[in-house]
Chains A and B, each alone.
Chain A
């Protein structure tokens, strides 16, 4: 089941940005969209989130066709590169937002929300920052808030658009493993957009290599390195051969 993306196309004017993209994400699986700048990764992710709509193709989530469904009804948690935190709300209120916006019938009680927020913030290791405002946090802390906020709605799928690219290498590594741990703990599937090969290799179960609106190859890190489907993939992952030889990650 999970998410199936079938034949999705998108163009801006005459510029074809996504060319018949197929992709599937299994339940609990972590998929990375890897590709150079301008290859259409963000566009694909936003179409999955429902923030943009494709001109052709289908999106199916757990057997349900969601191609035309509004973003707010998809229950996909999204983490933005720019954090996109609500600056006028405390960390706790940011995290509680999704739950508070639910219609009365399905909204947890006030104390229920409070508990859930506390659990999430503790899981993201920022429990002590609950009362602060986003402007009083470091970049890494902000991204943890964004992650906790996205997870609060018990999403069916977690979408991340280069969440760590504004952070320095050390914090990045810490957050990367925190993200992977959180995702495993919660047990949801996730799609991570990145142009950092190492990040993709370290965190993802399967990697989709994109170039100019097409998915060149979709497979595990091992498959990509052993049997690259095209010269582009081989060239794009050149530096990563050593990475595997060292036996790191995966």
Chain B
């Protein structure tokens, strides 16, 4: 992903441009980025700016806000870890095997995106409530999901499933089989082929998918609130707290929480971008300074 970006920028400075229309397309793109992404964000930061640092700190470090962040981040982490691993598995099954219903499974993966999140939330409640199928089953085992932290984690998992699969899938499809065959003839077992040959190639997309899933889970609202229970200090997520503060006309508090959430998501995405950029560097022919390659990619014995 980011390799292609850095590749393009390198070309821009050295080679003559071949594709026409660069000025116009870039202009329109930037305009839309400003209107649709940057303007609302700057409104948020303007609100935040009105707030002194002391006030900001007081809001953020209040017990209720901290609890909400703790719940949100921990549940999002859980959802992310699950979706990263599960997404890898799902993509693997879809790309590598032929089985009846494969197309259907492939189409189902996008469902969490297509479904209104509130619908997803209500469906999950119907399933995990005391009277729902899963709820009854789990109640017999003395496990409670609906209206607990687990409910939040499950709702977040549901809405971010596509990220885990769809980021890795195209890369997996483009893997060349002869590379794996070469590894086999060199004596590698299947598990070694995966660990040393396949996974390193998937790594950038894997990281990207995980961080997208995390960012999405942090801000998920519709799917979560129905199943969360929404008990302050226990099962209240950060985006619900924003909503509550807005209802109380406490705009500074709402924007402080929102800004923090946004910052968190941005930091994660930027870190992921840096990580994938590093991982892809050796693939570029022009890559200078290969002597400085980080050794994480070397095949450690």
Contact = CB atoms under 8 A, between A and B. Distances in A.
Interface of A: 49-51, 70-78, 80, 82, 84-90, 93, 96-98, 100-102, 107, 110, 113, 131-133, 135-136, 146, 149-150, 152-153, 159
Contacts of A132: 290
Contacts of A153: 186-187
Given A78-B182, A93-B298, A101 B188 contact: yes
Interface stretch (B78-86, B250-258, B277-285): B277-285
Interface of B: 176, 178-179, 181-189, 192, 196-197, 200-201, 279, 282-285, 287, 290-291, 293, 297-299, 301
Given A88-B297, A89-B298, A90-B298, A136 B285 contact: yes
Given A86-B179, A88-B297, A97-B188, 12 more contacts: A71-B181, A72-B184, A72-B189, A78-B181, A80-B181, A87-B283, A98-B186, A102-B187, A131-B290, A131-B291, A132-B290, A133-B287
A49 B298 contact: no
Which one of B184, B188, B196, B298 has the greatest number of beta carbons of chain A within 10 Å?
B184
B15 to A, nearest CB: 18
Contact of B185 (A49, A85, A89, A96): A49
Contacts of B192: 101
Contacts of B182: 78, 80, 84-86, 146, 149
Interface centre among B176, B200, B291, B299 (most CB of A within 10 A): B299
Contacts of B293: 90, 133
Contacts of A85: 179, 182
Given A72-B184, A84-B179, A136 B290 contact: yes
A99 to B, nearest CB: 9
Nearest to A49: B185
A245 B197 CA distance: 49
A88 B200 contact: yes
A97 B196 contact: yes
A84 B290 contact: no
Contacts of B279: 88
Given A51-B181, A131-B291, A133-B282, A86 B187 contact: no
B22 to A, nearest CB: 27
A82 B183 CA distance: 14
B203 to A, nearest CB: 8
A82 B176 contact: yes
